[in-house]
Structure formats: C-alpha cells, structure tokens
Structure 1
Amino acid sequence: MAMTVWVDGWQMQCCGRLFAVGDVVSWTLLEADPEDYAELVGSEEGGVDFREEHHGGEGRTPTSVEVLSITEVHCRYGPRPGTVDNANRALPGTRVLVPVRQAERWVEARPGVEFAGYLVTVRRVADGGGPPG
C-alpha cells in the first residue's frame, strides 16, 4: 500500500541524505495532519500521511520504505490575506509541483517561488520495523 511522506526542504539542506526513485531508505516517520500540508500539496494530491523527521524522532524505530515517486514542492510565502498575524505561510495558488527522479539537498531556484520540500510516494518494505502499517 502506497503512503505519502513529506520531507521538509530545510531538513534535507541540514542533514538529509540523497534518495532516488527505486531506492530503499530507512526513515523516521511521524504521523502528519493532512491539514498542515493542504496549502503545500493541495487536496487533489491526496494529502500527506507521514512526515520524515531527522530531528526529534529519538526513540522511534525507523521504517524501511521503497521510494516510488518524488515531487519537488515550491511556493511563495507571506502573510495570508485577511489575517491579522504576520506569520509567513504558503500562499494559496502559488504552488508549483515538479516531478523529479532524485532528491537533492539543494534545489535549483524557480522564478517567484521558494523550495518547500518533497512530496514522496513510498511503500513499506517488509522488514518488521517502524510504525506505519
């Protein structure tokens, strides 16, 4: 069964390991709230099931997964129209999805948007590890 995993761009830049379609990787996966990623990935993409975590996943058993597809997610950030807070968030309607064969630590800039992270479709490899089922 396929799962969708979010990999933050900042985590890749900090200490991420390169991965490509077809690779089997061992990741610490934490359940994700799909609403937290709705502006980044959109509802038509099916949402995010898990997020890959390099920092704060201590004590969790890594899960072995095979990478089926990788999509770069780019968007523009700023305060949302009609809100009183000045927090920078993904702005609706600015998302750019770019299918790739390999994830990189540093992604080439795209005009008018910033790299946010990777949307990765994976399937669990039967090794007995990790939380997803």
Structure 2
Amino acid sequence: MRWNIWVSDWQMQCCGDPFRIGSTVSWTLCPADRDWLTRVLGEETAATIDWSEDHHSDPSADQLRVEAQVTHISAVHAHLERLPDENAYHPVRGVLSPQTSADGWNPDQGDLQFIGYLVTLAVDQ
C-alpha cells in the first residue's frame, strides 16, 4: 500500500532526520489538514494526502506510528499571500519538484518559498 505524507519544512528543520528514496523511516503520523493542503496544493493533490508527519503533538488516539520505505519525494514551494481578513501570510498555489533526498533545507525558487515535502511511503499492512 502507498501513502502520501505531508512533511512540513519546520518539522524537518527542528528535529527531523534526513531521508532519501529507498530509506526506511519511522514516523509518527497524524491526520492531514486537508483544508490547508487544498489551499496549497489544490483539491486533486490534497485529496491524496491522508497523513502529516509530526514530532510535536501530544500523543492522541488519532496518531499512528509507521515504519515504511520512502518511494517518492517532492519538494513543495508556494506563493505566500495574505488571506482575506487575516494579518498573516499563508502559502498558496504550491509547486511540486521531484527530489531524491530531503533534509528540510531546500532553497526558495524566486518568489516561491520552500514549505515542505510530499512524500510517498510503501507501507506493509
């Protein structure tokens, strides 16, 4: 079975371990924020993402611990825009760029800011 996982840049930068295609990772997963992912990656791509990798949440019943092999990595870069009635900038209109490895520190691409990775895992069940 294949799962698409959202991995935030700040999670990786804070306490994530670098990984590459073919690596086996042991991650704690929590349900993905589909509303946020839809704004960033569009409805079609967001619909394929069920989980987010997480180092910082308190343990809860909706978390899952998984050990799986990385089969695909895409860096995600996005425009930052102010949403209506908000004072903060939020990523929108993300662009996926295939990668062979991830360490949390991809450079920005012009006016597109690096915000994380979309990672596909091969999960045994």
Does residue 9 of the first structure (1) align with residue 12 of the second (2)?
A: no
Aligned length: 122
Matches within 5 A, 1:70-109: 70-80=73-83, 83-91=84-92, 93=93, 95-109=94-108
Q: Secondary structure at the match of 1:13?
A: helix
Q: Report the AA paired with residue 49 of structure 1.
A: D
**CA shift in 2, pair 1:19/1:48, >3 Å:** same
Consecutive aligned runs of 4 or more in structure 1 exceeding 4 Å deviation: none
- Give the unaligned 5+ runs of structure 1: 127-133
The normalised TM-score by structure 2 is: 0.86
The normalised TM-score by structure 1 is: 0.81
1:64 matched residue in structure 2:
67
Superposed displacement of residue 114, structure 1: 0.8
1:124 matched residue in structure 2:
123
Superposed displacement of residue 61, structure 1: 5.8
Q: Secondary structure at the match of 1:40?
A: helix
Percent identical? 34
Does residue 115 of the first structure (1) align with residue 114 of the second (2)?
A: yes
Q: Report the AA paired with residue 116 of structure 1.
A: I
- Give the unaligned 5+ runs of structure 2: none
Q: Secondary structure at the match of 1:28?
A: strand
Matches within 5 A, 1:46-65: 46-58=47-59, 62-65=65-68
Q: Distance in 1 between matches of 2:81 and 2:111?
A: 12
Confirm or deny: 8 A CA contact 1:76 1:90 kept in the other structure. Answer: yes
